[in-house]
């Protein structure tokens, strides 16, 4: 086999990987005596020489192609690559950001067409993004704390101040649905923990005390305290510490899928997790984490939610994640819980293996007057697995306190 044939075969493999077999088979089947040389040339030149270069991964090249075809107004190529990117698993968030970038580098009319065509492509693929009407409750203001380490903050709605604090390995978007629902009559502030999302990643390891002091300065900077604190897992650990250490900042507390303490065996598992991430990155733990986040039944019924959570986990800074694992693994609020004086709701997922029901029972027993609610069928990220049940529990609690 000559070199040109080798390059053609390698190029064809890349082309199939990026555009899909169906498209490539159609293109090869439609080749004629007139255009066959051209198809051969682009297969070798574009799909081997350029797409085959190791310097950028295919995902980055796909996004670049979207930007470039928008800039040139080559809309048939744009639609082709957009469809292929979505089918190839590029997260919609990243495609959206590429189109947003085009607004300033290609101009509003080009981005306008890009968004319109993207909507059509998504509709043909059967993907309907959730409605997000630009009502005052849905309008989200985005900023960072003034004080360092800077924390990324989203704020929406008007009314009673509520803070949402996310789980390890996720970010503010975990709360999209609940934030929008509460923003009708609350001012909802959510933030990325240090080491997560778009917040700063100072060198680790972190301590739970540092995460709690981040929360305290966030509430003080906001100036709306005392707040309703709703935290899930790591966010719930921060909430326990905040309510115990800074009672003046917390009016009432919801602690979901969390714990006040890990026994030695679990701390050993955290040490293993830290070692795995240090050796292999977050990809090394992603399957295991998804298995703890969601039940098998939920993963089968909602692969898109799992894909979203996996994407968030993999985008988390590995050093930030490890630094937070140190804080989480050493959490110990057992002596502090009896000092919490605010109304407290503890939510557990009946199937949660990351924070089993017994851990929530221990919190509810130690916090004076706390109430425990268990969501049937839910595992660790109960706000995503059982959003209606989670919201109902929060709304009933807000109405009562």
Ligand X SMILES: O=C(O)CC1=CCC(=O)O1
Which contiguous run of DSSP H or E holds residue 229?
A: strand 227-232
- List 165's β-bridge partners, or say none: 191, 231
Which contiguous run of DSSP H or E holds residue 309?
A: helix 303-315
Return the SS3 of 342: coil
78 or 262: whose CB is closer to ligand X? 262
Shortest Å, Cβ 259 to ligand X: 8
Long-range contacts formed by 103-107: CB under 8 A, 24+ apart: 105/67, 105/71, 106/67, 106/70, 106/71
343 or 354: whose CB is closer to ligand X? 354
131 or 263: whose CB is closer to ligand X? 263
Binding test (CB under 6 A) with ligand X, winner from 354, 364, 372, 375 = 354
91 or 169: whose CB is closer to ligand X? 169
168 or 243: whose CB is closer to ligand X? 168
Shortest Å, Cβ 270 to ligand X: 9
Return the SS3 of 360: helix
Shortest Å, Cβ 193 to ligand X: 9
Q: Is 289 in the site for ligand X (CB under 6 A)?
A: yes
Shortest Å, Cβ 272 to ligand X: 12
Binding test (CB under 6 A) with ligand X, winner from 69, 98, 199, 233 = 233
Of 9, 401, 393, which is closest to residue 181 (Cα–Cα)?
393
174 or 364: whose CB is closer to ligand X? 174
Structural contact between residues 388 and 358, judged by C-beta atoms closer than 8 angstroms:
no
The count of residues interacting with ligand X (CB under 6 A) is 10
**Closest residue to ligand X, Cβ-based?**
233
Shortest Å, Cβ 307 to ligand X: 17
Shortest Å, Cβ 170 to ligand X: 8
Which contiguous run of DSSP H or E holds residue 160?
A: strand 160-165
Shortest Å, Cβ 258 to ligand X: 8
Q: Is 380 in the site for ligand X (CB under 6 A)?
A: yes
Alpha-carbon distances, residue 322 vs 192, 213, 372 (angstroms):
15, 19, 30
Q: What is the dihedral of CA 308, 309, 312, 315, to 10 degrees?
A: -100
How many Cβ atoms from other residues are within 10 Å of residue 237's Cβ? 29
Q: Is 363 in the site for ligand X (CB under 6 A)?
A: no
Shortest Å, Cβ 293 to ligand X: 7
14 or 165: whose CB is closer to ligand X? 165
372: which residues sit within 8 A by CB, 6+ positions away? 346, 347, 348, 360, 361, 364
- List 253's β-bridge partners, or say none: 229, 344
Shortest Å, Cβ 337 to ligand X: 18
Q: For residue 189, what are its two tokens?
A: 């502030």
98 or 233: whose CB is closer to ligand X? 233
Structural contact between residues 227 and 233, judged by C-beta atoms closer than 8 angstroms:
no
156 or 379: whose CB is closer to ligand X? 379
- What are the DSSP calls for 78-109, one per residue? HHHHHHHHHHTT--HHHHHHHHHHHHHHH-HH
Q: Is 328 in the site for ligand X (CB under 6 A)?
A: yes
Q: Which stretch binds ligand X (CB under 6 A): 38-46, 143-151, 165-173, 302-310?
A: 165-173
Q: Is 267 in the site for ligand X (CB under 6 A)?
A: no
Binding mask 167-206 for ligand X (x = CB under 6 A): xxx-------------------------------------
Please report which residue ranges of 21-91 form alpha helices under DSSP H.
21-29, 36-42, 58-72, 75-87
Q: Is 331 in the site for ligand X (CB under 6 A)?
A: no
Shortest Å, Cβ 167 to ligand X: 4
Which residues here bind ligand X, judged by CB under 6 A? 167-169, 233-234, 289, 292, 328, 354, 380
């Amino acid at each position: 086999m000559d070199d040109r044939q080798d390059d053609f075969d390698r190029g064809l493999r890349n082309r199939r990987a990026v555009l899909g077999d169906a498209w490539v088979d159609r293109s090869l089947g439609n080749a004629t005596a007139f255009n066959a040389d051209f198809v051969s040339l682009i297969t070798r030149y574009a799909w081997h020489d350029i797409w085959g270069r190791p310097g950028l991964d295919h995902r980055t090249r796909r996004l670049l192609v979207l930007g470039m075809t928008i800039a040139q107004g080559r809309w048939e190529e744009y639609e082709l690559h957009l469809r292929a990117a979505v089918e190839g698993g590029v997260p919609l968030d990243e495609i959206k950001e590429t189109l947003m970038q085009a607004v300033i580098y290609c101009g509003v009319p080009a981005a306008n067409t890009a968004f319109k065509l993207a909507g059509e492509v998504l509709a043909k693929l059967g993907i309907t993004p959730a409605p997000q009407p630009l009502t005052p409750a849905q309008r989200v203001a985005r900023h960072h704390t003034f004080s360092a380490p800077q924390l990324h903050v989203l704020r929406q709605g008007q009314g009673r101040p509520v803070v949402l604090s996310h789980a390890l390995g996720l970010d503010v978007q975990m709360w999209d649905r609940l934030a929008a629902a509460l923003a009708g009559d609350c001012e909802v502030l959510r933030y990325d923990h240090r080491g997560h999302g778009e917040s700063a990643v100072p060198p680790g390891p972190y301590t739970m005390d540092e995460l709690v002091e981040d929360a305290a300065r966030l509430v003080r900077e906001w100036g709306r305290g005392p707040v309703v604190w709703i935290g899930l897992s790591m966010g719930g650990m921060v909430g326990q510490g905040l309510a115990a250490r800074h009672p003046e900042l917390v009016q009432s507390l919801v602690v979901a899928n969390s714990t006040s303490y890990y026994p030695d065996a679990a701390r050993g598992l955290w040490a293993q997790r830290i070692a795995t991430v240090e050796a292999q990155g977050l990809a090394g733990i992603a399957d295991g984490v998804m298995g703890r986040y969601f039940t098998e039944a939920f993963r089968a019924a909602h692969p898109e939610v799992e894909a979203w959570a996996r994407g968030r986990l993999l985008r988390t800074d590995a050093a930030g994640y490890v630094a937070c694992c140190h804080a989480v693994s050493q959490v110990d609020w057992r002596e502090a819980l009896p000092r919490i004086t605010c109304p407290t709701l503890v939510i557990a997922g009946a199937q949660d293996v990351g924070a089993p029901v017994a851990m929530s029972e221990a919190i509810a027993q130690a916090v004076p007057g706390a109430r425990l609610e268990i969501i049937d069928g839910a595992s660790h990220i109960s706000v995503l697995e059982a959003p209606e049940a989670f919201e109902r529990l929060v709304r009933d609690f807000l109405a009562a306190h």
